[in-house]
Amino acid sequence: MIRAIIVDDEEPARRKLHRWLSSETDIQIAGECADGLSASQSIMRDSPDVVFLDIQMPGLNGLQVAAQLEIGAAPLLVFVTAYDAHALAAFDLGAVDYLLKPYDEERFRRALDRVRDRHHAPEHRRSAVLVARQQTGVSDRLLVPEREGLRMIDSAEIHCLEADDNYVHVHTSDQTYLLRRTLRDLLQQLGEQRFVRIHKSVAVNIDEIDALTPLFKGDYELRLRSGRLLRLSRRYTTELFHRTGG
């Protein structure tokens, strides 16, 4: 079975996709969402194989949803749009296909055939996320897990990022969030103009740096404004001093 999620802020559009997908014996509808935030929550919770994703939505649009996905676990994406320019850009993103509203059942079935053909091709899952990030640019917001759902935080709220295997601890002033991401992947999304590595597994918000104290063999103890103490490895001192004018 191919598990599908339908995302569109227009109820008639969701109903049409639901009706056609329901008639397919190899498709299971795992959920329906009317906005980008609930779509991100559903993708994280339900791990669908494919998402029919509307591009134009209030708040978090379809490209922003795609840009926030974890590359290694991203579903196949079929973008849905009423705007030609967006449709062409979506197709170039490496998405499985796009549906240009208003589309008919024949066009829908061609897209579904492409989904079946690429169901076991991980490169099609990765490419849409990577190029979506290129299209949306550096993100100043980050989706983080909170209780049973997700919330959006500003990247300026983040004090530091600490890698732990394939996870990253995202530290803010009063909370720590755990993301199943690599540090490199997260820094590419957030942009390294705000953050700087101080260790192979740690990056800090430059604006949160309070003081440096020399240790030994070129290492430093770095104190954040919150009082958190971290080790600045000699390997990363040149970049830090260059970025901070030190």
* CATH number, position 204: 2.40.50.1020
pLDDT in tens, 125-178: 677 777 777 777 677 888 888 877 788 899 999 999 999 988 999 999 989 999
Q: Which CATH number covers residue 40?
A: 3.40.50.2300
Q: Please check whether residues 180 and 219 belong to one and the same domain.
A: yes
Let me know if residue 148 belongs to a domain: no
Q: Please check whether residues 11 and 120 belong to one and the same domain.
A: yes
Per the structure, the complete domain to which residue 221 belongs is given by 153-244
Three-state DSSP state, 163: strand
Mean pLDDT of the chain: 88
Q: Please check whether residues 164 and 54 belong to one and the same domain.
A: no
Let me know if residue 141 belongs to a domain: no
Angle at 209 between CA 206 and CA 210, to 5 degrees: 155
Q: Please check whether residues 112 and 165 belong to one and the same domain.
A: no
Start-to-end CA distance of the chain, whole Å, equals: 57
- Dist CA 199 CA 162 (whole Å): 9
Let me know if residue 143 belongs to a domain: no
Are 89 and 69 within 8 A, CB to CB? Answer: no
Q: Please check whether residues 128 and 197 belong to one and the same domain.
A: no
Confidence (pTM): 0.77
Q: Residue 186: left if φ>0, alpha if ψ -120 to 50, beta else—which one?
A: alpha
Let me know if residue 31 belongs to a domain: yes
pLDDT in tens, 163-222: 998 899 999 998 999 998 889 888 888 877 899 999 999 999 999 999 999 998 889 999
Number of domains in the chain: 2
Q: Please check whether residues 163 and 131 belong to one and the same domain.
A: no
Q: Please check whether residues 18 and 54 belong to one and the same domain.
A: yes
Query: Among residues of the chain, what percentage have pLDDT more than 70?
Result: 96
Let me know if residue 126 belongs to a domain: yes
